[in-house]
Amino acid sequence: MNSQTASLANQMKHRDRDMVPRFLVIAMFSLMLISLSLVSYAQWTDHPNTGVLKFSPIEKEITVSLVGDRSKGIAIHDMGGNQLAHSNLKKSGFIDVIWVSVMRHRTVQNKDISAPIRIIRRQNGHTAIFDDTTGWSIELIGYGQDNVDAFAKLID
């Protein structure tokens, strides 16, 4: 081994040691242990869960069909065949996202891909989507106002 190769190997050895400072590794593991301790304490003391969605009765609902494909967009039709919304119009791209989830669950469970879904408004004002064909559902909380409105406006 020549002196230039030995010098590079020595530099790499020191550089690798300095890439992640020791205090950072200690801080990372400390944070992990503190988090684990807090969760364990909450479980052992039967501390009530927070941030859990509370059940609210259904106030209003509409049954609709999702029609289309990824290239042309997804239309939402009422049971009379009237188009209520389309994923390519007015910030409604979230319709595509929901369609993909519904189709995925139906494909995996080998269910009818053309079956309708229900859009529900709860008494607390939240909007939910139910696919009775597969049992899949989603509460539209935390997805942004435009995304929730893509479905919520259909119930009004």
Question: What sign results for the dihedral spanned by CA atoms 40, 43, 49, 53?
Answer: positive
Residues 85 and 147 in one domain: yes
In a domain, 49, yes or no: no
Question: How many residues are there in the chain?
Answer: 156
CA distance 93 to 74: 9
pLDDT at 62: 95
Helices (H), the chain: 3-18, 22-44, 94-108, 145-152
In a domain, 51, yes or no: no
CA distance 76 to 83: 6
pLDDT at 138: 93
In the DSSP assignment, the letter for residue 131 is E
Residues 72 and 142 in one domain: yes
In a domain, 104, yes or no: yes
pLDDT at 13: 66
Q: Give this prediction's pTM.
A: 0.68
Residues 29 and 97 in one domain: no
In a domain, 50, yes or no: no
| Cα distances (Å, whole numbers) of residue 3 to 6, 9, 25, 114 | 5, 10, 34, 72
pLDDT at 17: 60
Residues 71 and 128 in one domain: yes
Domain residue limits at 104: 58-152
> Which residues, given as ranges, of the chain have pLDDT below 50?
none
In a domain, 52, yes or no: no
| Domains identified in the chain, total number | 2
pLDDT at 35: 97
pLDDT digits (tens, 9 = 90+) for 60-85: 999 999 998 888 889 999 999 999 98
